[in-house]
Amino acid sequence: MLKRGIEILNDPRLNKGSAFTHEERIHYDLLGLLPARISSFDMQLARALANVRRQRDDIDKYVFLSSLQKRNERLYYRLLIDHIDELMPVVYTPTVGQACQEFAQLFAQTAGMYLSLDFRGQLREILRNWPERDVRLIVVTDGERILGLGDLGTNGMGIPIGKLALYCSLAGIKPEQCMPVVLDVGTDNEALRNDTLYLGMRAPRLRGEEYLSFVDEFVSSVKRLYPDALLQFEDFATNNAITLLDRYRDQLLCFNDDIQGTASVVLAGLYASTRVTNIPLAEMRFMFIGAGSAATGIGELLVQALICEGLTEAEAYGRLIYFDRDGLVCNSRTDLIDHIRPFAKDGPAISMLEAVESFKPHALIGATGTPNIFTAELVGAMARHNLKPVIFALSNPTARAECTAEQAYLWTEGRAVFSSGSPFKPVHIDGEIRVPGQGNNAYIFPGLGLGALTCQASGIDDDMLIAAARTLAESVSDQQLKLGCLYPPLKEIREVSVRIAMAVATTAASNGKTSCNIDDKFEQDLREYQYWPDY
């Protein structure tokens, strides 16, 4: 039934607010429900942007934008697209971290599916309550490892919501085809369980076979109800992240952004860094601080990239060295779990500083969630052994970064090739400006998802991730590299996403993962498929 009157104003997908024309106001019974003055879309955008900027701090901006999304969807997404460099840090990292921490306090209106253990045996029926039927993209979390903030339970819903907002604005996935999901399996965060405002189950986390059985039911329900969808796993703890990806990657089109997206965007930064250091990727050595799913995911993809450069598998693994919270990852240790064991080194345990002196890495990569673990001494040692040391401080949010951009430049006399997971402002040093590169997964996952969906890929493999990384690195101009930035400007992401989507689709075709013909017409169809918010 066609909506009319106040119903159409309360539907964010249909609402145009003060932009409804006089004729539309008559047709839809809106006379008297809106002020007399008719606004253009540009006027609404200017008003919305002014209202964002008048908010006191970023969390207030986040709340305002969330409200706008629920009020006028097209205005919200157009605002993001037109001002992505200003607003992405608000709708995603670093502000989304605070938003998740305060999610229960900020909750005003539902925006996703909450699947709790109470629904075991009924998940397929519960998922049918979602108002859309043509779901193509699902982002799911269980809230156990939100950014670098730990177990936030159902408060982690802010992550799927934020990721999908970026899919829509940066790749043009249609909002009505997106579904954010949180699996409420309890929380081990005792403070949350004791918080009277917390909205999730007040029980310790489900573990073991019962947990896997619950996720199995969810995945089988997705396969049955939404067979054309891409399922993205987000912010699961390391063991579950790896287990679930291995368990389902051959069952349906799925992807873990923390493992695969992070790996691809970091690989892109490393590819780009070779244009600054003039050291080919095949000749580089890499030292990782942190050995969780993100860090080892980077390592596994990096090994495959090095093999593509002509190294043997053994030679490729030999170029990587890892440290975790217990020190050097080495074969003499008895506590290593399966995902880190391939990176273990022979020989005695040594300190991080000793490793820099003996291993002489070209790149220092941090994925720890531990702020300030990159010390002046450690980074200084990197600078002694490298004319242009590559320093990647990847942990999110900004407050969790292994070091700041300013520290990296100061400790290396301005010579560092720096990248981070969250944004840092430009740094002035010795009369020059350095623009830190932000290795945000938003450079990869929107284009990756767009390509996989539009070519109807049967799966996502390492070759597709490497193709995405190479395409992203090639999108960085020489001028941007001179300023120190390893990634293109945020305002270019939407176009970069199209290039990545084409590279992903082409690789999928080469590997037999799609029957689509990837040609100029495919690119035209891809561009026509993209959502563009307008009236």
Q: Residue 193 — φ and ψ, nearest 5°? A: -60, -25
CA separation for the pair 345, 132 (Å, rounded): 51
Handedness of CA 40, 42, 45, 46 (dihedral sign): negative
CA separation for the pair 234, 141 (Å, rounded): 5
Task: Pinpoint the alpha helices (H) of 309-392.
Answer: 313-318, 352-359, 376-385
CA separation for the pair 472, 496 (Å, rounded): 7
Element (H, E) at 295: helix 293-308
CA separation for the pair 391, 418 (Å, rounded): 5
Residues carrying an active site annotation: 92, 163
- Going by their DSSP bridges, the two strands 363-366 and 390-393 should be labelled as parallel
Return the closest-CA partner of residue 488 out of 475, 501, 506, 498: 475
Distance of CA 260 to the CA centre of its chain: 10
Distances (CA, A) of 114 to 62, 102, 160: 21, 17, 12
Handedness of CA 200, 206, 211, 214 (dihedral sign): negative
Q: Which amino acid is at 455?
A: C
Token readout for 168 is 């829509």
Contact residues for 68 (Cβ-Cβ < 8 A; gap 6+) = 48, 75, 76, 79
Q: Residue 322 — φ and ψ, nearest 5°? A: -125, 145
Distances (CA, A) of 527 to 371, 441, 450, 502, 532: 41, 22, 10, 10, 10
Query: Residue 70's CB: how many other CB atoms inside 10 A?
Result: 16
Beta bridge partners of 433: 428
